[in-house]
């Protein structure tokens, strides 16, 4: 045997793929963007995507599929019932979750709707670390209460906690001690999307599960970002450094009784989702609702080829080089912003960087929507589309009054496998430039808005002549 030299160690983390198909992005001038913004009523949701250079509106369904996924789509079996595509999809989901009944749905909220339809009634309470907005809406739609029980650190933007997505276990125990009959299920969202994409530790999943078992309440995982969460556990939780993301995900699912999934996230596809559970009686009821609203149980609102793309995607999401590249891209942008004193939610989460616009623009009161203003200026100056998570999105109360959101945030969400290092460098440059203009940024007022979910369609205008003084 010749003497083997040690493997050289290189520090640069590269995109673990090469590009096989490209989609041009279109440059616009600042003047063109100013016109587009005005025509869109200063609402980035109303822009034409072709007027956007880098689109970080959401990481949901916006990623790139792999050549293996496209190849799998050609194998799609479009049989109405019992297709081979379903068998592959089901095997992939069972291989990771170990759950017994797997129902495909067209996206995450369809799974939530079915779960709420079979498990909840008026007056019930469903705790979660933090409910995602569609989950909350589905729970409230059946007259139940969606209760957020995050740990205290989750509410502090700069608190450095490795698992800021954790659920407050003593608070859960207190709730179950006093109101057990009103709690038909407990949910846990990994990663905690609405809490900044922060991970949940396996220790927390285990503790939440133990409390649920003690009180006899089923635990459901909102597992949209199960792979990112598993990788955070590998990086941060003692005892897991040598385990694969797949093994960690399997352990995570071993503590739960069911799951809802938007496969537009860690399913690595453009559409899809599932509802999974162990309980046979609940599964029978869920199957009935699935047929009513989605389709036959072996396709559930998806084409056979979608199921095949997902069967591959669920595995690819757990590949370490991919997860390392993804989390590192986001962390890298966060580091560049912190160096330039642009305040963000720390530590950076799995799918997005959240800028604390309230802190960056202290001269703007909440009624002038600082985070909305910042997102408009990011587009105006650099062609970057982000999303406001602040008082336009959350400020209107059910009785029609206004109340400032707890935080004024701008979220930059990264589509999966879509942008490269140089895109991230460009983003950092745009953000630093906008940061240097911070004192000149002016607020907006709402001109017209619907009563519900107004951020999608509202029209606004600058309170002064323009967005920048």
Ligand X SMILES: *Cc1c(COP(=O)(O)O)cnc(C)c1O
Q: Report in angstroms how near the CB of residue 265 gets to ligand X at its nearest.
A: 6
With contacts defined by CB under 6 A, name the span among 132-140, 149-157, 327-335, 376-384 that binds ligand X.
132-140
Q: Which of 20, 12, 6, 56 is nearest to 354 (CA)?
A: 56
Smallest distance, ligand X to C-beta of residue 63, A: 13
Using the minimum distance from each CB to ligand X, give the nearer residue, 376 or 409.
409
How many residues make contact with ligand X (CB under 6 A)?
Answer: 15
Q: Which is nearer to ligand X, 224 or 373 (CB)?
A: 224
Q: Which is nearer to ligand X, 108 or 358 (CB)?
A: 108
DSSP state of 402: B
- Cβ neighbours of 427 (radius 10 Å): 25
Q: Give the span between the Cα atoms of 64 and 128, in whole angstroms.
A: 30
Please pick, from the candidates 109, 396, 416, 442, the single residue that binds ligand X as defined by CB under 6 A. Answer: 109
The nearer residue to ligand X, 266 or 316, going by C-beta atoms, is: 266
186 vs 428, which CB is nearer to ligand X?
Answer: 186
| Residue 107 near ligand X by CB under 6 A | yes
β-strand 273-277 against 258-262: which pairing, if any? antiparallel
**Residue in 218, 273, 301, 349 binding ligand X, rule: CB under 6 A:** 273
Stretch that binds ligand X, among 142-150, 168-176, 260-268, 298-306 (CB under 6 A): 260-268
Among 85, 166, 201, 262, binds ligand X (CB under 6 A): 262
Shortest distance, position 267 Cβ to ligand X, whole Å: 9
Based on the number of CB atoms within 10 Å of its own CB, is 400 exposed (0-12), middle (13-18) or buried (19 or more)?
Answer: exposed
CB of 201 to ligand X, least distance (A): 17
CB 366 within 8 A of CB 391: yes
Measured CA angle at 153 (ends 152, 159), to 5 deg: 155
Cβ-Cβ contacts under 8 Å for 311 (sequence gap 6 or more): 72, 85, 88, 89, 91, 92
Judge contact between 54 and 426, C-beta under 8 A: yes
Among 41, 63, 104, 108, binds ligand X (CB under 6 A): 108
Single out the segment in contact with ligand X by CB under 6 A; choices: 64-72, 257-265, 302-310, 445-453: 257-265
Contact with ligand X (CB under 6 A) among 66, 69, 135, 204: 135
Give 261 or 373: the residue with its C-beta nearer to ligand X: 261
CA distance 253 to 202: 10
- What pairing do the DSSP bridges indicate for beta strands 258-262 and 219-222? parallel
DSSP 192: B
Which x/- pattern, by CB under 6 A, does the window 42-61 give for ligand X? ------------------x-
Q: How far apart are CA 314 and CA 328, in angstroms?
A: 20
Q: Which residue, judged by CB position, is nearest to ligand X in the bound state?
A: 108
By CB under 6 A, the residues from 175 to 214 that bind ligand X are 189, 193
Binding residues for ligand X restricted to 221-240, rule: CB under 6 A: 222, 224
Q: Mind giving me the DSSP string for 301-343?
A: TS-HHHHHHHHHHHHHTT-HHHHHHHHHHHHHHHHHHHHTT--
3-state helix, strand, coil in the chain (%, to 5): 45, 15, 40
The nearest distance, CB 413 to ligand X, in angstroms, is 10
Identify the residue among 264, 336, 385, 423 touching ligand X (CB under 6 A).
Answer: 264
Summarize as ranges the residues that interact with ligand X (CB under 6 A). 60, 107-109, 132, 134-135, 189, 193, 222, 224, 262, 264-265, 273
């Amino acid at each position: 045997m010749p003497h083997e030299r040690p493997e050289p160690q290189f520090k640069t983390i590269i995109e673990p793929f090469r590009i096989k198909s490209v989609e041009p992005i279109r440059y616009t001038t600042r003047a063109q963007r100013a016109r587009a913004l005005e025509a869109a009523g200063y609402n980035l949701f109303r822009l034409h995507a072709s007027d956007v250079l880098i689109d970080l509106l959401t990481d949901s369904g916006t990623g790139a599929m792999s050549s293996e996924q496209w190849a799998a789509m050609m194998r799609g079996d479009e049989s109405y019932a019992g297709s081979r595509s379903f068998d592959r999809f089901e095997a992939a989901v069972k291989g990771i979750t170990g759950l017994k009944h797997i129902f495909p749905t067209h996206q995450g909220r369809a799974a939530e709707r079915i779960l709420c339809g079979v498990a909840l009634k008026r007056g019930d309470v469903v705790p979660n670390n933090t409910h995602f907005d569609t989950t909350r809406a589905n729970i409230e739609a059946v007259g139940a209460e969606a209760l957020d029980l995050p740990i205290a650190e989750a509410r502090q933007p700069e608190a450095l906690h490795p698992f800021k997505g954790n659920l407050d276990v003593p608070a859960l125990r207190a709730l179950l001690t006093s109101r057990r009959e009103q709690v038909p299920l407990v949910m846990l969202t990994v990663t905690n999307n609405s809490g900044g994409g922060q991970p949940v530790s396996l220790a927390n999943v285990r503790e939440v599960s133990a409390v649920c078992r003690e009180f006899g309440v089923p635990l459901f995982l909102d597992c949209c970002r199960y792979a990112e969460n598993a990788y955070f556990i590998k990086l941060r939780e003692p005892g897991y450094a040598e385990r694969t993301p797949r093994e960690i995900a399997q352990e995570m699912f071993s503590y739960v009784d069911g799951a809802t999934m938007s496969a537009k996230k860690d399913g690595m596809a453009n559409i899809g989702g599932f509802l999974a559970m162990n309980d046979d009686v609940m599964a029978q009821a869920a199957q009935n609702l699935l047929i009513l609203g989605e389709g036959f149980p072996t396709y559930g609102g998806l084409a056979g080829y979608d199921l095949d793309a997902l069967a591959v995607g669920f595995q690819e999401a757990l590949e370490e080089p991919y997860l390392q590249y993804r989390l590192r891209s986001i962390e890298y942008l966060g580091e560049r912003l912190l160096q330039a004193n642009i305040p963000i939610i720390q530590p950076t989460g799995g799918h997005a960087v959240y800028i604390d616009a309230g802190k960056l623009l202290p001269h703007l009161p909440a009624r002038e929507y600082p985070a909305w203003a910042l997102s408009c200026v990011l587009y105006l100056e650099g062609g970057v589309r982000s999303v406001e998570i602040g008082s336009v999105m959350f400020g209107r109360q059910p009785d029609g009054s206004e109340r400032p959101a707890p935080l004024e945030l701008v979220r930059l969400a990264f589509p999966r496998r879509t942008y490269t290092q140089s895109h991230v460098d460009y983003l950092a440059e745009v953000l630093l430039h906008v940061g240097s203009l911070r004192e000149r940024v002016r607020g907006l007022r709402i001109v017209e808005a619907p009563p519900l979910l107004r951020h999608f369609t509202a029209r606004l205008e600058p309170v002064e002549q323009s967005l920048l003084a």
